[in-house]
Amino acid sequence: MSETPKSTSKRDLIVDALMELAAERRWEDISIHDVSVRANISLADFRDHFPSKGAVLAAFSRRIDRVVLDGTTNDLASEPAKDRLFDVLMRRLEAMAPYREALRGIVEWSRRDPVSATALNSMALNSMRFMLESADMTSEGTAGHIKLQGLVLAWTRILDVWFDDEDPAMARTMAALDRELARGEKLVARVEDMSRMAAPLRTLARSFLTMARSRGPRARRDHFDEETGPESSEERRTHTL
């Protein structure tokens, strides 16, 4: 099991302190002052590095991202996309293992606070975007966006299994991960099929839009007057003479 290397920088000390406290207390009961005391730094030093606890949590997420991305190789380049992503996400779980109890508490907090859940979803989207890239999978385009958000939702379900999986081999977690990725693979395939079928309609819509723009603002104004008003713009000009 890999552990995230410790650092003596004040920024890292703050992140470590917050995650230690999150493993011991409810998130709502942790103050910035508590984190500063645990990190043995002043409030001024905390403020120099972070504006809030949420920003510290985002830094932790980027720390885990870095561990996973630094460990990415081309060893699985010839394997199916699902297998590549499976490997990336298992490495992410390994990097997160020392913080399991803290993360359990943070997930429970997000379920009590919908506003915070939205912010955590954005944070997870940022991380999963790079997890997909690490597996040589794109998150661009309509299918990519669905793939990305679907992965975030799947990751939440995988974490629920991981939190209670005491088996060092993580058999239940791996089974859940494999199941969620297989389900996501089928969903993305359907979205890509629909996107291909809709491509001619998008092309037709772009053609109509180009034609409308080419008529210019005067033509569009006259068309609007003729369709919606009792008088055309020419008739109104006559009335004003």
Pick from 69-83, 122-136, 208-222, 223-237: least confident: 223-237
pLDDT at 88: 96
> Are 146 and 188 contacting, i.e. CB atoms less than 8 angstroms apart?
yes
- The pLDDT confidence band at residue 140, using thresholds 50, 70 and 90, is confident
Q: Is the pLDDT of residue 143 over 70?
A: yes
More confident residue, 224 or 22: 22
Rounded Cα–Cα distance for residues 203 and 31 (Å): 54
Report pTM. 0.75
How far CA 163 is from CA of 54, 100, 105, 106, 193, in Å, comes to: 22, 7, 10, 12, 36
Joined together, the tokens standing for residue 213 give 């723009």
First-to-final CA distance of the chain: 86
